[in-house]
Amino acid sequence: MRIDQKYQKITLAWLLCIGLGFMTYQLNYTPTKSFVGFWSGQSAVNYGDHSLSIKMQLVVDDAKSESARLIVNFEPNEKNASTFHTNVTSNIQILNRSGTEMTFSLTEFNYTNKKALEAFIDRELPSKGVVISGVSWATSKDEIFLYLTLPFGEKMGVVLRRHN
């Protein structure tokens, strides 16, 4: 009978260690931990007859709160267009994550020089309440591929690279 109690105690201690280890892992693991830092990249998108150069910066502040901001700079990508600069800053809300893929939405847009961009693309831009969806893939530890669906259905992809 003493042998059975000894095995029960060892098994119980073993299960307790596994449980504590799993709980510690869950408390310290966040899917965005490897993405904390500053990322940037650029792309172009066509709006009808107009082409825009887009420079993106992704700032992932804190892995525990999974907070991030996307800053996008727009410039005309045409030689004969009047020059302007427009910036949009938005927060990122993570909707789903699995493995190296993350689905998110962009919310709370803050524009600078919004009217110049609207005049260039001949459309009114959304301000609040509109969600732009996106999917990102970690292609390596220093590169992320963002695939965005813009407010008017345009799709664009951009590779962001980590900066130290």
Residue spans per domain, the chain: 1-30, 33-163
In sequence order, what are the beta bridge partners of 93? 105
Specify the 3-state DSSP secondary structure of 18.
helix
Q: What is the pLDDT of residues 29-65, one digit of tens each?
A: 555 666 778 889 998 887 777 788 888 888 877 656 6
pLDDT band of residue 13 (cuts 50, 70, 90) is confident
d(CA 147, CA 92): 14
Identify the pLDDT of residue 140. Answer: 78
- What would the mean pLDDT of 84-98 be, rounded to a whole number? 78
d(CA 26, CA 20): 10
Asked if 129 and 119 touch (Cβ cutoff 8 Å), the reply is no
Query: Does pTM top 0.75 for this prediction?
Result: no
> Under CATH, which architecture does the 33-163 domain have?
Beta Barrel (2.40)
Determine the residue type at 68.
A
